């Protein structure tokens, strides 16, 4: 680590009290309470802001005022950070900073956004990682196998089965799953109303298998629960965290001998990919995923096109 990097990191910890106590807390409260962004996103935005103001402090040319930040400061920050973080992370940092300054423009504290006009290095295009349909079936069989071997009891088996079925059958983000309440679910219609990123509401069909797991779980292990109670709980009836969902998934990935780097979000990728593989309309998948832009969903078409080309290359005599 360079001396300048050390100075910057120290500055993040020793940021001016005005930045730490006056500018950041209202913005983070806006993200979590008004925009209802996930804890993960709020934490990443907070990190980006901390690194940015730490950089300004270390550079020594900033006048300490929120309105005193300019495009050159933003450019210098990008040049410095791209040496230590990926392009994707860098773009996320800049997105958080743009949102931060937009917030203070609306509050009348800043006249302009210093990141407007900032040019970023293009990220390398990566296709989403996903499981095949056969791999998903192996994963979903895990709780039943452990129950049959008497390794886990029925409570854990049905809870774990329900969690896995909802991740794959509904394409939930992990934050959406841990916040799912019984009042969000229509047991008659087999759908759930989800409030996702940015407070955007959508209807998610849950599927017959997931609904069977849900009904069994509710009737056998959570009969006293009401409208406002969360669905996914532990042995003591306490709501689960996103981390507990991640650990549960790791457990069944290992059992099914599947890649251990599969995350709940990659199960969501699998959900979207399998819908398109089986003929679902792209705009329908966009709506089911809760994407605000079609371009976000279109990455899954690249997966399908790549697979089609692979089949063509193997099968066609002129390929």
Residues in CB range of 223: below 8 A, 6 or more apart: none
Catalytic member of 141, 197, 250, 266 = 197
Could you confirm whether 274 is annotated as catalytic?
A: no
- Biggest alpha carbon distance in the chain? 69
Catalytic member of 173, 218, 269, 274 = 173
Catalytic member of 55, 268, 269, 274 = 268
Could you confirm whether 102 is annotated as catalytic?
A: no
Catalytic member of 20, 202, 251, 265 = 265
Could you confirm whether 302 is annotated as catalytic?
A: no
Helical axes 39-59 vs 87-106, angle rounded to 10°: 90
Catalytic member of 93, 252, 271, 300 = 300
Could you confirm whether 173 is annotated as catalytic?
A: yes
b/e per residue, 186-199, with b = 16+ CB within 10 A? eeeebbbebebbee
Q: Which residues are catalytic?
A: 173, 197, 265, 268, 291, 300
């Amino acid at each position: 680590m360079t001396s300048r990097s050390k100075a910057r990191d120290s500055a993040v910890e020793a940021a001016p009290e005005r930045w730490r106590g006056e500018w950041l807390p209202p913005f983070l409260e806006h993200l979590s309470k008004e925009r209802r962004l996930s804890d993960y996103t709020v934490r990443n935005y907070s990190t980006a802001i901390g690194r940015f103001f730490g950089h300004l402090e270390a550079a020594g040319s900033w006048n300490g005022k929120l309105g005193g930040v300019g495009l050159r400061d933003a450019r210098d920050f990008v040049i410095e950070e791209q040496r230590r973080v990926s392009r994707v992370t860098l773009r996320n940092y800049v997105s958080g900073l743009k949102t931060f300054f937009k917030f203070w423009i609306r509050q009348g504290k800043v006249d302009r956004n210093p990141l407007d006009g900032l040019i970023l290095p293009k990220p390398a295009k990566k296709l989403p990682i996903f499981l095949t349909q056969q791999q998903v079936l192996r994963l979903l069989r895990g709780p039943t196998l452990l129950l049959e071997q008497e390794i886990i009891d029925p409570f854990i088996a049905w809870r774990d089965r329900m969690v896995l079925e909802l991740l794959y059958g509904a394409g939930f983000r992990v934050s959406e799953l841990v916040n799912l309440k019984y009042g969000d679910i229509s047991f008659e219609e087999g759908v759930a109303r989800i409030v996702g990123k940015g407070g955007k509401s959508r209807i998610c069909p849950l599927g017959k298998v997931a609904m069977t797991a849900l009904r069994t779980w509710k009737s056998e292990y959570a009969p006293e629960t009401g409208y406002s109670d969360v669905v996914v709980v532990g042995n003591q009836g306490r709501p689960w965290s996103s981390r507990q969902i991640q650990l549960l998934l790791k457990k069944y990935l290992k059992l099914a001998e599947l890649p251990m780097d599969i995350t709940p979000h990659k199960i969501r990728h699998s959900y979207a990919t399998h819908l398109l593989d089986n003929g679902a309309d792209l705009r329908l998948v966009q709506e089911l995923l809760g994407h605000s832009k079609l371009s976000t969903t279109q990455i899954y078409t690249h997966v399908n096109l790549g697979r089609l080309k692979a089949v063509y290359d193997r099968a066609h005599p002129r390929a």
